[in-house]
Every structure is written in structure tokens, then in C-alpha cells.
Amino acid sequence: MSILGTRVVRTEDPRLLTAGGTYVDDLRLPELARAARVTFVRSPIAHALITGIDACAARAAPGVVAVFTAADLDDLPPPPPDDDGGGGGGEAAPLPLGGPWSEPLLAIDRVRFVGEPVAMVITDDQYQGEDAAELVSVDYEPLQPVVGTDAALAGASLVFPAAATNVAVTSGAPADATAFDGCEVVVQATIANQRLAPVPMEARAAAAHWADGKLTVWSSTQNAQISRFILAGALGLDPGSIRVVAPDVGGGFGAKIGVDRDALLVAWAARRTGRALRWAETRTENQLAMTHGRAQRQVIKIGGTRDGRILAYRLEVVQDTGAYPRMGGFLPFLTSLMATGAYDIGTVETAFRVVVTNTTPISAYRGAGRPEATAAIERAVDLFAAEIGMDPAQLRRINLVPPDKFPFSSPCGAVYDTGAYAQALDKVLAGAGYQDLRAEQARRRERGDPVQLGIGLASYVEITAGDAAGGETARLVVHGDGTVTVYTGSSAHGQGHHTAWAMLVEAELGIEMAKVTVVHGDTDLIPLGVGTYASRSLQLGGVAVQKAAIDVKDQARRVAADMLEASEADLELDTERGAWQVRGDPESSRTWAEVAGHAGAGGLAADVNYTDGQPTFPFGAHLAVAEVDIETGKARLLRHVTVDDAGTVVSPVLAEGQRHGGIAQGAAQALLEEMVYDADGNPVTGTLVDYAIITAAELPSFELLQSETPATINPLGVKGIGEAGTIGAAPAVQNAVIDAVSHLGVRHIDMPVTPARVWAAIDEARQSR
Amino acid sequence: MKVSLTANGSQVAAEVADRTLLVHFLRDEAGLSATNVGCDTSSCGACTVLLNGRSVKSCTVLAAQADGCDVVTVEGLAADGDELHPVQRAFRAEHALQCGFCTPGMVMATVSLLAENPAPTEDEVRAALEGNLCRCTGYHNIVRAVLAAAAERSLR
């Protein structure tokens, strides 16, 4: 029996549980033995001109090696050119915009968000760095801050005067006046998908060392190879002279894709000072200066018939991309691509604008554009259900893409590969006991219980490995002692690649997992690779490992045939014993070690760069049960039941772990978390005291139901699972809380559904009755 | 000032600045880098260790306050060799860790919880771990692991 699909515990864990991981700040390498510490001086003001920097006192402070400002960055290549034709208006761009939108490494003459690096202080130890950074005196002349999408669109103050607009990207057609003709009911709403902080438990960290013309950078990143590419471009170096190592990485969630300006500066300063350098930011710096996610204002319009057929949908997005348009154009592009969700809707329009503001830049965060799409359509569907007085489960069932329509070409341009959407919905309804829950809800309403019950649904489809064309690499070597090393271009930061890749090798070659070593995140060993994001690892990196194993198996068959003086066609691999034999003759057995030993100079090794050329579309349904105290507005998540179908499951343990974490982050968005700025652009939730990161006490145990609808585009039949939980959970929990108070006349409450917002919504509904 | 303490059974003494935090003393002077710093507001619990048998957030204790004390970190939990502590074993069996960064603190908080309350309910586990943040697991498997470790202990 294959090991795939069985409950294997992780190979990573004994080390993490006894010695702890080796994160960047834990590295105790000889190259870093005398490393100095980097501390950044960051802007305390959202929008200002810099009129002077005096670092004299800091330079004279104990332990100071150097203090650098933008003026010292005199040996860097010029910033990238304007690639969108100038002045905004370009199409979706996955890379940072150049030209007038360029992001400097250190602020030059103006600061654009609280937390922007203005100067860097290098000291012998960390405590000295904190002291010396306080002594750097920066003169600011405050400018009118641009906070929020309305202010950005009004344009009274410009974040980039040279761009002459705060709108960096515009996409989509103007509304067609006839789109909703024929609809008996049309509902429209303006809703917020609030700004979130990713909060990986390990904040950003880097170390750098220059020796003999070679730069080594250890970075807490989701992709060493992309980091090397960015470093080479930013520092004007040949990629061959750079080694990037991603050691253990304490979570990423999209915010550690590539390498940020802070770590680029650490690398630059290591060369300039000739000292090995270390940098590990504080949590407060992380909350302000690592990218945030989401931050969309959405206008949703949905129309259809009174008997529940949805005919038309329009989604208009204003994406707040913060102070620099890094992934600015890309996130709302994905939102638009997935706008209609799991529904078969005839007429769809999408449009978006991306605006800059004086806040922390926005980039990928678990789901990256797709949770925003799902939140919008799932709210729209519930609003429509409320308007026509139909059970939201029934409305969904009527409009979900039916099974006979796959592959389904959505009007937004996506091709959903495989799916069983209504089946997923019916499973969660049955698993949760939907009718009983509705009956309990009715009883509480009937008796006027101060604690009301709400049931929230979300049906979703999402896109994983959206950049599948980029592929992923694997190199597999069988050594003479019968052990295996797998070099993967994918990059683990908690997902369990080392376990999953070893399972794939054992399944294919019959070499037990304990003999398989997985190596990732070192560009000297793995020059080519893409890394981990967009839930791409298994369907690209995992399949690459399987392909490499198959290639090695073919090589071994030839070698074993030679050893046994038999024809290749007569040979078989007994994967139970991990041995080659002439078919039906176990006596003729040759072990992997023997075959590898016989293979000669090249040994048994295969290099694969795999792509299936297209993304996959995982789907599912979530059902949340929430209690709301209508006297205080306090909501509590009682149950969360899900189907998350990501095709064939290789490791149930790892897949469930991804779902659990995703659900928690989605529930956190619905219930608690929000990066808040005041009118002056000061972050109000800049520490973990103020930012309400969800804890164990605010969550129930989750009820996961199984469903596997294989993908057809890759041989494993797999889809991505990393982001699905987040995408489904946020709207289900939000809908549950709104459902709990819907009988009081409440139709919508923006996320997070805090007690204050829930109470105000109840109060407003009462007033208007 | 000179600080001297016992870390995982070994005597550690070092001359450090007065303001040195216990977590930095453990990481930089005692060479025990498993204990992580995850925040700067005593919110996350990644730095949780046992100080004279009770769990503390070692970013909120001065090394000087631990002078003469007995400190246990996750490195000191397993018996000699490969034998995992029951809490470590349960965390592995239940997949209660992903990136591993919160894990040393989460394990030490669990050891402390089970010392105080050997048979907690799920709600008690969730309340007790409120001060330890995890971003990967959604806490689901951590709670299961704590309950499993408690159950295993009660059987012995």
C-alpha cells in the first residue's frame, strides 16, 4: 500500500521540539561570529519632507560602527524605469512600479509612511543600536497625509507629486447601463475588506557577510532564489556572486516573498562596512514596516429574479496599496479574476483602481486577492437572499456552477478545472446539522433570547499556482549507500515539505522516508527555484519531486537490468522492500544501494523543472455558527464546519494543518483583526497589544469534512491547500454574525465585526424601524 | 553586573549589562537559542521558560532577577538521548507545530499548565494558552496535543 494519503507524522518535528529551529537570529556560524547589529531609524510621521538629518551624536555613541542615510547609498544602480507609460493607468503588474512610483532603499527627501526606514545604525551589540538610533536627529516638515481611499482619490495631497495622481493603476470597463436589465431585484452595497497585518511569529530578519567578492545573505524568506534575483538587481551584482540561504523560517503568509528593502540594506552595508551584519526587527517594527494585506473598498451590485436566479454581478474595487505600489496592480487583478466565485452568473463586470496612501505598503497576505473576491460575492449572495427572503443555502444551491459544466470558463476569464460545488455545500449542511441549527435559531428568536444564534455560509473556489508557468525545480540523487537527497526549489516555512517530499520519494522508489534528506533554500545548492507562495508547492514542487523520482527509477531499471543480465521489460521494483528484481523472482533482488553503486560516475540523479502550465481551482464550503449577545454586540464563534477540496490528498496531517491555520486567520479577519490608522496616518494598532491577533481562547475546535475531487492537469491530482481555509472562513464567520442579528433588520456589518460595530448596527436598525 | 543561574541543570555565569533581559541571557550567554523573541510587548509567549518551576515570559524578566534561580528551557525538557518529554511527544503526534517558532514557548507553557492542572478541559486549555500566540496551527492541534499529553499522564 502506498504511503500517500496516510497519516505520517512530520520528520521536521523532533529537532524543532528539542533543540528549536535555527531561524536567522539563531545562526551561530563562524562567518557571523563577530557580526555587528543593524538598527533602523524609522519615520514617526506618515507624510513629511526630510529637511535635515544629524547623525553626529549617534556616530559618537558607544559601540557605533557606522550610521548611514540615503546620501551614503552612492554606489547603487539607478531605480527601474517607468514601465507603465507614466502617470498611472497601466494594467495589472505583479512587480513594483518604477518611474515616479519608485521605492528608495532609504527615504531620500520625503517619508511616505510611519515605519519607513530613514537611516541605519550599525553597532557592536543590539542594545547599543537601540540607544544610538534614538540619537539620530531627523528634521521633518509635515505634509498633508493621505489616509484612506477617499482621500487618495480626492487627490488634495499627492503621495508622489511627480506622478501627478494618487491612482497608480486603473483597470476595467465603465459600468454598462444595461447590465442589470431584466433583473427583478437589484441590491448594492459598499463594503470594506480591511487592512490586516500578516504577523508571522518570526518577524523579518537577515544576516549578511562579504568575503572574497561573494555576498552571503541569510534571510527569513519564502524564496531564496527570488531573493537572490532581487538582491542582484538592487545592488548591481552578478547573481553568481550572491548566495542566499533561507534557514528555518518562522512563518511567512505571503509577506516574506522575496526580500524587502530593509534586508537589501543589510546586504549593502555588509559590503560597505566590511563587517558581517545581523538584523532582526522588533515586533513593533514588523507591524509597521513589513507589508500588510487586503485593504480594499468594494462596491458590490447583484441582481436576479425573485425566485433566486442570479443574473448579473458587478464588483468595483479601490485597492489601497499603501505608500508604494509593490504588488498593487496584482492583488485586485486576482480579485477581479475570481469575482464570480463558485457561481454561474451570466453577466459580470469588474473594475478596479489602485491608489497610494501614506500607510504601510500592501502586498500578498494569505490568499492575496482571492479572499477579497470571495468576501465580496458571499456578502452579495447573502444580501440578495435577504432581499428576496430565501434561505441562503437554497440560493447558493440554485446558482453554484453545476457538475456537468466543468471545465467551466468563468466570465472573468478563469477556467475552473474540476469541482463539485453543490456537493461540498450539502456536505457541510449535513455535517453541521443545518436544519437543527435553524430550528435552534428560531427558538432563540421566538423567546427573545439576549444571546442570538447565527449560521453563516460561504461557498468558494480559489486559484492556486496562478503563476504555474514559472514551474518548480527538483533534483533527486540516490547515493551509493541507498540514501536519497532531494533538492527542492520550493521553500518550507512550516508547511512540512521535508515530510511530504520524502513521502513522495518513498511512494515512488520504495526507499523509506528515514533515508530521504530534503534540502531547500540555499542558492549555492539549488540555483534555480521559485519558492513557496500562492499555494503552489505541492502541485509544482511536489510533482517535480515525483517526476525526478520516476526519472531516477527509469535510470535504475537500466542499471539493474545490466546487473541481473535481464531485459528492462522483465524488471520490477518491489516498492514494499525497496528492491529491484526480475519479475516474479525475489531471489534476484538488488537493493537501491547496490544499483546506485553500480550506476557509475554519474550515479542515479535527475534534474526536473516541472510546470503543468496552468493553475488549479480548489473549492469548498464553510459553515460557521456564531452567538451574538445583542445587548453588548459581542460575537463568539461556536462551531466551524468545512469542506476544503484540494484534489487528491498526499498528506492528510499536513493538509488538515493548513486548513486549521487558514480557518483561524479567516475567522480572525471576520472577528477581530484590523490595522487601524488615525486621520494623521499614525498606526493605532502597531503592537500586539493593540492589534487583536486571534488566540486559542477565541476559537473553537474545527470540524473538517473530507472531499477529494482530483485535479486532472497534474499526475498527482493535487491542488493547493494553503489559502483555502482563510478564503472560506472569513465570509462564513462574518455572515454568521450578521445572520444572528438579521431578524433585527441588520443586513451588513463590515469586518471585523467588533462588539462596537455589531451593537451600532443593531441600534441603527432599531432606529430606522 | 554578574549573573549566575542554573540553566537546564548547568551552571551559567556571565558579566552582562544591568538591563539584560533573561531571554537574551539565555540565547547569548547560555547558548540556548531555542527560546525565541516574538514580540516586544509580552504578548506572544514565544519566550516562555520555567523559572523555579513556574512559567514566565523571559522577555519580561531581567537576567538579574533570575540570578541564583533554576531555569528550564525546551532544550532541557527531553531526558537524555532521544526520549521526548510527554508534551513534546504529544505535540509531534498531533501535528501541533508548523513553522516551530512559537513551539518552545508553547511547550513550556503547556508543561506549566499541566503541573498546575493535570486534567484540564478544552476550555481550560484554551484559556490557559491565551498568552501564547501561534499563527500557523489555528491552535486546533495544539489543544488536542495538550489534552493528549494530560490523558497520557493520567494513564501512567
Distance from CA of B83 to the nearest CA of A (A): 10
Q: Is B138 on the interface with A (CB under 8 A)?
A: yes
Q: What is the pTM of this model?
A: 0.97
Distance from CA of A391 to the nearest CA of B (A): 30
Grid cell listed for B145: 496535543
Q: Do B70 and B100 sit in the same domain of this protein?
A: no
Q: Is A657 on the interface with B (CB under 8 A)?
A: yes
Per CB-CB distance under 8 Å, the chain B contacts of A35 are none
A residues 517-556 near B, CB within 8 Å?
A: none
Per CB-CB distance under 8 Å, the chain B contacts of A496 are 98
Specify the DSSP element, H or E, that contains A298: strand A293-304
A residues 261-290 near B, CB within 8 Å?
A: 280, 282-284
- In which residue ranges of chain A is pLDDT below 50? 84-93
Q: Do B91 and B72 sit in the same domain of this protein?
A: no
Q: Does the structure show a pLDDT above 60 at B46?
A: yes
Closest of A136, A140, A70 to residue A107, by C-alpha: A70
Q: Is A666 on the interface with B (CB under 8 A)?
A: no
Interface test with B, best of A201, A366, A642 (most B CBs within 10 A): A201
Q: Does the structure show a pLDDT above 60 at B50?
A: yes
- The amino acid present at A750, given as its one-letter code, is D
Residue A205 contacts residue A24 (beta carbons within 8 Å): yes
Query: Does the distance separating the beta carbons of B98 and A282 come in below 8 Å?
Result: no
Share of chain B above pLDDT 90, in %: 93
Q: Do B141 and B107 sit in the same domain of this protein?
A: yes
Which pLDDT belongs to residue A461?
A: 98
Query: What is the C-alpha to C-alpha distance for residues B37 and B44, in angstroms, rounded to an integer?
Result: 9
Which pLDDT belongs to residue A326?
A: 87
Q: Do B100 and B120 sit in the same domain of this protein?
A: yes
Domain annotation covers residue B100: yes
Residue A570 contacts residue A519 (beta carbons within 8 Å): no
Domain annotation covers residue B32: yes
Q: Which domain holds residue B98?
A: 86-155
Interface test with B, best of A11, A15, A17 (most B CBs within 10 A): A17
Q: Do B107 and B72 sit in the same domain of this protein?
A: no
Query: Does the distance separating the beta carbons of B130 and A696 come in below 8 Å?
Result: yes
Last residue of a domain, one of B49, B76, B103: B76
Q: Do B72 and B95 sit in the same domain of this protein?
A: no
pLDDT digits (tens, 9 = 90+) for A232-242: 999 999 999 99
CATH of residue B6: 3.10.20.30
Interface test with B, best of A7, A9, A16 (most B CBs within 10 A): A16
Q: Point out the residue among A10, A127, A249 whose CB comes nearest to the CB of B95.
A: A10
**Please, what is the end-to-end C-alpha distance for chain B in angstroms?**
45
Q: Do B59 and B123 sit in the same domain of this protein?
A: no
Q: Do B16 and B69 sit in the same domain of this protein?
A: yes
Q: Do B66 and B128 sit in the same domain of this protein?
A: no
Per CB-CB distance under 8 Å, the chain B contacts of A283 are 38-41, 43-44
Which pLDDT belongs to residue A80?
A: 67
DSSP A327-393: STTHHHHHHHHTTTTTB--SEEEEEEEEE--SSPPB---TTTTHHHHHHHHHHHHHHHHHHHT--HH
Residue B6 contacts residue B70 (beta carbons within 8 Å): yes
Beta strands in A530-634 (DSSP E): 571-574, 579-582, 585-591, 604-610, 619-629
Query: What is the C-alpha to C-alpha distance for residues B36 and A441, in angstroms, rounded to an integer?
Result: 45
Which pLDDT belongs to residue A92?
A: 40
Query: Does the distance separating the beta carbons of B97 and A17 come in below 8 Å?
Result: yes
Per CB-CB distance under 8 Å, the chain A contacts of B19 are 127
Beta strands in A33-174 (DSSP E): 36-42, 48-54, 64-69, 110-111, 117-123, 137-142, 167-172
Share of chain B above pLDDT 70, in %: 97
Query: What is the C-alpha to C-alpha distance for residues B65 and B3, in angstroms, rounded to an integer?
Result: 9
Distance from CA of A11 to the nearest CA of B (A): 9
Which pLDDT belongs to residue B81?
A: 63
pLDDT digits (tens, 9 = 90+) for B53-100: 999 999 999 999 999 999 999 999 987 766 899 999 999 999 999 999
Nearest CA in chain B to A652: B95
Order of strands across the sheet that contains A293-304: A167-172, A347-355, A310-320, A293-304, A185-196
Q: Point out the residue among A16, A657, A663 whose CB comes nearest to the CB of B141.
A: A657
Distance from CA of B68 to the nearest CA of A (A): 24
B residues 30-89 near A, CB within 8 Å?
A: 31, 33-41, 43-44, 46, 74-75, 77-78, 82, 84, 88
Query: What is the C-alpha to C-alpha distance for residues A756 and A662, in angstroms, rounded to an integer?
Result: 26
Grid cell listed for A403: 457538475
Residue A482 contacts residue A591 (beta carbons within 8 Å): yes
pLDDT digits (tens, 9 = 90+) for B127-145: 999 999 999 999 999 999 9
Which pLDDT belongs to residue A600?
A: 83
Which pLDDT belongs to residue A713?
A: 94
Q: Do B69 and B8 sit in the same domain of this protein?
A: yes
- How many domains, chain B? 2
Q: Do B53 and B32 sit in the same domain of this protein?
A: yes
Grid cell listed for B149: 499529553
For residues A388-422, b (16+ Cβ closer than 10 Å) or e, as one string?
A: eebebbebbbbbbbeeeebebebebebebbbbbbb
Domain annotation covers residue B81: no
Q: Is A63 on the interface with B (CB under 8 A)?
A: no
Nearest CA in chain B to A492: B99
- The amino acid present at A706, given as its one-letter code, is Q
CA angle A699–A705–A706, rounded 5-degree value: 140
Q: Do B51 and B94 sit in the same domain of this protein?
A: no
The total of other beta-carbon atoms located within 10 Å of residue B72's CB is 20
For residues A713-722, b (16+ Cβ closer than 10 Å) or e, as one string?
A: bbebbbbbbb
Q: Point out the residue among A494, A653, A665 whose CB comes nearest to the CB of B99.
A: A494
Distance from CA of B7 to the nearest CA of A (A): 14
Full set of structural domains in chain A with CATH: 1-33+204-280 (3.30.365.10), 35-83+105-143 (3.90.1170.50), 293-464+615-767 (3.30.365.10), 468-610 (3.30.365.10)
Which pLDDT belongs to residue A83?
A: 54
Which pLDDT belongs to residue A531?
A: 95
Domain annotation covers residue B71: yes
Q: Is the ipTM of this complex over 0.90?
A: yes
Query: What is the C-alpha to C-alpha distance for residues A262 and A557, in angstroms, rounded to an integer?
Result: 50
Query: What is the C-alpha to C-alpha distance for residues B124 and A588, in angstroms, rounded to an integer?
Result: 60
Interface test with A, best of B139, B141, B142 (most A CBs within 10 A): B139
Distance from CA of A745 to the nearest CA of B (A): 33
Which pLDDT belongs to residue A540?
A: 97
Grid cell listed for A595: 544499483
Q: Point out the residue among A10, A18, A654 whose CB comes nearest to the CB of B75.
A: A18
Query: Does the distance separating the beta carbons of B140 and A701 come in below 8 Å?
Result: yes
Grid cell listed for A668: 480572525
Residue A641 contacts residue A623 (beta carbons within 8 Å): yes
Q: Is A33 on the interface with B (CB under 8 A)?
A: no
Per CB-CB distance under 8 Å, the chain A contacts of B15 are none
Nearest CA in chain B to A687: B41
CATH of residue B151: 1.10.150.120
Distance from CA of A587 to the nearest CA of B (A): 37
Q: Point out the residue among B38, B93, B129 whose CB comes nearest to the CB of A201.
A: B38
| Helical spans, DSSP H, in A218-343 | 224-235, 261-273, 283-289, 330-337
Which pLDDT belongs to residue A565?
A: 93
Query: Does the distance separating the beta carbons of A10 and B92 come in below 8 Å?
Result: yes
Interface test with A, best of B26, B111, B125, B135 (most A CBs within 10 A): B135
Query: Does the distance separating the beta carbons of A23 and B98 come in below 8 Å?
Result: no
How many contacts, defined by CB atoms under 8 Å, are there between A and B? 183
Closest of A26, A82, A535, A67 to residue A325, by C-alpha: A82
Grid cell listed for A199: 504577523
Per CB-CB distance under 8 Å, the chain A contacts of B135 are 199-201, 251, 253, 661, 665, 693
Last residue of a domain, one of B18, B46, B76: B76
